[in-house]
Amino acid sequence: MTSQLSPDIAFMTRFRSVNDNAEAELNRARDTASLEAWRIKYLGRRGQLSELTQQLGKLTLDQRRDWGPLVNNVKSTLEAKFAAAQNALERQAADAKLASDQLDVTLPGRPVTLGRLHPVTQMVREICAAFTSMGFDVVEGPEVEWERYNFDLLNIPRDHPARDMWDTLWIDWTDPTPEGRRMLLRTHTSPMQGRIMEKAKPPIRVIVPGKVFRHEATDARHEWHFYQVEGLAVDKDITFADLKGTLYEFARRIFGADRRIRFRCDYFPFVEPGVDVSVDCFICKGTGVMSNGHGCRVCSATGWLEIMGAGMVHPNVFKAVGYDPEEYTGFAFGMGPERIAMLKYGIDDIRHFYANDVRFLRQF
C-alpha cells in the first residue's frame, strides 16, 4: 500500500505528525532529563527532523522547493521553543535555590555555649597562687611512679605496716633487671619530695599539684582518684613555726580570716613531728550536728574537716636523698583541693566533681 501512496502525501503526513508530536511533548517536558530526551528525539543528529530533511531527497525538485523552507522553519521554531523551555527551567532552579538560601537577618542570634575551667582546676590554681605569692615554685611530676619514690625514699620500706595507709594501684609490669623495681599509680604527690631533693640543693621551696590514685571504695568523702598539692621547704634553720606561719597565711588567703584552724598530732612516716591540719566544718559550723538534728554527714559528726597532712621532714628522708640532717631542716605538707573546694563552695559530696554533670559544673 505504501508504495502506492505518492511520496508527496507520505511526506506531508510525516511532517505533520512530527510537528504536532514535538510541540505536544515539549509542553509536557518538566525537568532537565525529559527536556534532554526530547532534544535527542527531535533535534538530535539522528532525530526526527534530520530524518525529515533526508526524506526531502525522495521528492521532486518542485516539491523540495515547497517543502524545504517549511522543514527549516519548523526546525528553527522548535529550536527556539526548546531554548525557551530550557531557560525557564534554569530560572526556576535558580529561584528555588535563592528561596532556600535566604538569610533572615531579623532572626535572634543562637547563644554560644562558653567553656569554663573545671572547679578543681580553678581550686588548684588558687592554691598555687597563694603559695607562689609566698615565694614557692610550682613543679609537676609523673603519675605513674616508681615504688622507690612513692614509698622507699619516704621512709616507708616494703614490709612497713604504714604502707596500709595508701591502698595502692600497682602497674602490671615485671622488671627485666635483677633490681625487681615495681611501678604504681602514685598514691600521693609526696614522691616528688625525693625527686626534687635528689636533683636540687637547698634552699628549696616548691609546691607540686597533680593527680593521685587510691585503690579504695568511693563515698561522699572519698574518690579513687583525686588531686593533691604537695609543699616542700628545705633550708638551714627551718622550724615548725615556719610551717605554722605558712599554713596560717594560706588558710587566711583561701578561707578568710574568720575560719578556725586546728593542728593535731598525726603520723606520716616521712615527717617528724607530723600533724593533720583541719578547718571547721561549713555544714554544721563545727558542731557535728546538722539542722535536722542528724549527725553531720560531711565531717562524720566531728565538726572538723581535715584539709591536709604536714610535718617536719624526717631525718631518714634527708639521708635517703644524700642531705645531712644535721645541716638542713624542712617542712612538708599535702592537701586535697577537692576537699578545700567543698569547704569553700558548700559541696557535700566529693563525687560531684567527677560525675560530669554540667548542672553542677556550670555553677563555677
Active site residues: 166, 188, 214, 228, 271, 332
Strand order of the β-sheet with 271-280 is 137-138, 204-213, 225-235, 329-335, 304-313, 271-280, 261-266
Q: Does 337 bind ligand PHE (CB under 6 A)?
A: no
Minimum distance of ligand PHE from residue 243's CB (angstroms): 10
Rg (CA), the chain: 45
Residue entry with cell 621547704: 233
Strands 204-213 and 137-138: parallel
Does residue 334 bind ligand PHE (CB under 6 A)?
A: yes
268 binds ligand PHE (CB under 6 A): yes
- Our finding on whether 209 is near ligand PHE (CB under 6 A) is no
> Shortest distance, CB of residue 231 to ligand PHE, whole angstroms?
7
Give 273 or 288: the residue with its C-beta nearer to ligand PHE: 273
Nearer residue to ligand PHE within complex by CB, 26 or 247:
247
Examine residue 190 and tell whether it contacts ligand PHE (CB under 6 A).
yes
Interacting span for ligand PHE (CB under 6 A) from 105-113, 138-146, 196-204, 267-275? 267-275
Alpha-carbon distance of 169 to 192, in angstroms, equals 18
| 213 sits near ligand PHE (criterion: CB under 6 A) | no
If binding is defined by CB under 6 A, does position 332 make contact with ligand PHE? yes
Q: At what angle do helices 48-55 and 7-28 cross, to 10 degrees?
A: 170
Ranges within 40-79 binding ligand PHE (CB under 6 A): none
Which residue in 209, 303, 309, 337 binds ligand PHE (CB under 6 A)?
A: 309
Q: What is the C-alpha to C-alpha distance for residues 121 and 333, in angstroms, rounded to an integer?
A: 19
Identity of residue 290 = M
| 18 is a site residue for ligand PHE (CB under 6 A) | no
Name the one range near ligand PHE by CB under 6 A: 20-28, 88-96, 155-163, 306-314. 306-314
Nearest approach, Cβ of 121 to ligand PHE (angstroms)? 20
Binding status of residue 310 toward ligand PHE by CB under 6 A:
yes
Residue 79: all three cell numbers together:
529550536
Q: Considering the complex, what minimum distance in angstroms separates the CB of residue 213 from ligand PHE? A: 11
185/94 Cα distance (integer angstroms): 64
**Nearest approach, Cβ of 283 to ligand PHE (angstroms)?**
23
Q: Which is nearer to ligand PHE, 230 or 280 (CB)?
A: 230
CA atoms of 129 and 117, how far apart (whole Å): 16
Interface with ligand PHE, residue 271, by CB under 6 A: yes
By CB under 6 A, residue 250 contacts ligand PHE: no
By CB under 6 A, name the one of 209, 286, 311, 337 that touches ligand PHE: 311
Select the span of 41-49, 53-61, 305-313, 345-353 touching ligand PHE (CB under 6 A). Answer: 305-313
Q: Is 191 in the site for ligand PHE (CB under 6 A)?
A: no
- Does 188 bind ligand PHE (CB under 6 A)? Our answer is yes
Among the candidate windows 1-9, 60-68, 91-99, 329-337, which touches ligand PHE by CB under 6 A? 329-337
Query: What is the distance between the alpha carbons of residues 303 and 290, in angstroms, rounded to a whole number?
Result: 10
Closer CB to ligand PHE, residue 119 or residue 231?
A: 231
Binding-site ranges for ligand PHE (CB under 6 A): 188, 190, 268, 271, 274, 309-311, 332-334
